[in-house]
Amino acid sequence: MSAFVALHEKSLPFEIATVDLAANEHHAAHFAATSLTQRVPTFVHNSFSLSESSAISEYVNEVFPGPSLYPSDPQSRARARQVQAWLRSDLMPIRQERSTEVVFYTPTKSQLSGEGQASAAKLFAAAEALLSPGSENLFGQWCIADVDLALMLNRLVLNGDQVPERLAAYARRQWQRPSVQLWVNQRRPPL
C-alpha cells in the first residue's frame, strides 16, 4: 500500500502486475529473477528492481521530483523511517489477528488475544507519543509513515476494536487522503 501511495504522491505513471501469493508465484523463477528477496511489492525502474515498501518509498523519494515523502528535518526523517521499520517488524499479534483482510474485506468476530491486546497497547502508546496534540500528521506535515501507521491502526479501527478516539480519528483522516483512497478502492479478487 505505501509503495502505491508513494508513486501516486509523486504523480508517477506505473503499471501493476499482480502476483498470486497463495500460489507461491513470488517464489517462481521468473519473479525471483526480478525480486532479490522474492517479496512483494517489487518495484522495477529501468534495470533496477527493489523490494520492501519502505525501501521503495525512500528510493522513489530520492530519485523522482515532486513533493517529499519524508520530513525535511533529519531527526524527523529518521523517526519516520524508524516508525516504518517498527510497524513492519513488530506487533505480530495484531498482524495475525487483524490481517489486512479485516481492512479490505470484512471484520472478524474474534476478540484480541492477550498478546494482541498487549500489542495494541504498545501501538497506542507509541502513536500517542508520536502524534502531537491537535496535529493531523506525525511530523506536522504529511509523510509516508502516516500511511503505515494509519494502516496498522485501521486493522483495529475498521474491525470495531477499542481504539483511543484521537488515534481512531487520525487513522480515519489519513484514510481519506486521495492517494490512499485510490488504494482502498482498488478492485480486489474475492477471498
For the chain, list the domains and their CATH numbers: 2-63 (3.40.30.10), 74-181 (1.20.1050.10)
pLDDT, tens digit, 9 for 90 and up, residues 169-189: 999 999 999 999 999 999 888
Given this model, what pLDDT does residue 178 score? Answer: 98
Spatial distance between the Cα atoms of 159 and 120, rounded to a whole number of angstroms = 13
pLDDT, tens digit, 9 for 90 and up, residues 142-173: 999 999 999 999 999 999 999 999 999 999 99
Residue 37 has pLDDT above 80, yes or no: yes
For residue 74, whether the previous peptide bond is cis, meaning omega lies within 30 degrees of 0, is: no
Spatial distance between the Cα atoms of 107 and 50, rounded to a whole number of angstroms = 32
Residue 32 has pLDDT above 90, yes or no: no
Given this model, what pLDDT does residue 91 score? Answer: 97
Q: In terms of DSSP bridges, do strands 42-45 and 48-51 run parallel, antiparallel, or are they unpaired?
A: antiparallel
Comparing CA positions, the residue from 129, 100, 124, 14 lying closest to residue 60 is 14
Amino acid, single-letter form, for residue 80: A
> Residue 14's pLDDT band (boundaries 50, 70, 90)?
very high
Amino acid, single-letter form, for residue 58: E
CA 102 vs CA 41, 97, 184: distances in Å: 20, 9, 12
pLDDT, tens digit, 9 for 90 and up, residues 103-143: 999 999 999 999 999 999 999 999 999 999 989 999 999 99
Spatial distance between the Cα atoms of 96 and 134, rounded to a whole number of angstroms = 31
pLDDT, tens digit, 9 for 90 and up, residues 41-78: 999 999 999 999 999 999 999 999 999 999 999 999 99
Neighbours of 75 (CB within 10 A): 9
Given this model, what pLDDT does residue 118 score? Answer: 98
Q: Whole-number mean pLDDT of the chain?
A: 95
Residue 22 has pLDDT above 90, yes or no: no
Comparing CA positions, the residue from 91, 19, 64 lying closest to residue 56 is 64
CA-atom Rg of the chain in angstroms: 17
> Which residue reads 480519528 in cell numbers?
169
Please tell me whether residue 73 adopts helix, strand or coil conformation.
coil
